[in-house]
Amino acid sequence: MWLSDAQKIGVALTTFGGLFMLLGVMLFFDGALLALGNLLFLSGLTLIIGPQKTFYFFARKQKIRGTLCFLGGILLIFFKWPFIGVIVEVFGFLNLFGDFFPVILTFLRQLPFIGTLLQLPYIKDVADRVAGSRVSVV
């Protein structure tokens, strides 16, 4: 599957958004970096999956609590409450994107170095618990 030019730009914007948010948290919840990271993340997500699918993703009935918390956290960051805003936003992010964690874990386990690291005994148990993967007893 090939990405269009808009989707490539969206991946870059989403990546930079995540990096800006991480940097904003590392620099003691710098509101400007967190706000910029949120804007880049949302615009990148919109470019990756399209405006209509982005709207339908956030407007689904079963995701409304996550959407309200995520957008409320962004608003709190814009209104100069970065610490509380990040906490609310992370809760909303986990509610919105928590279904993707097993898929991401499966992808990471196929990578050369990271996959070997994720197969170590204690790390594997923690990763499975965080991602919500089920281990079948055979």
pLDDT at 108: 86
Q: For residue 131, give the amino acid letter.
A: A
Report the predicted TM-score, pTM, of the whole model to 2 decimal places: 0.80
pLDDT confidence bin for 99, thresholds 50/70/90: confident
Mean pLDDT (the chain) is: 91
pLDDT at 81: 96
**What is the arithmetic mean of pLDDT over 18-35?**
96
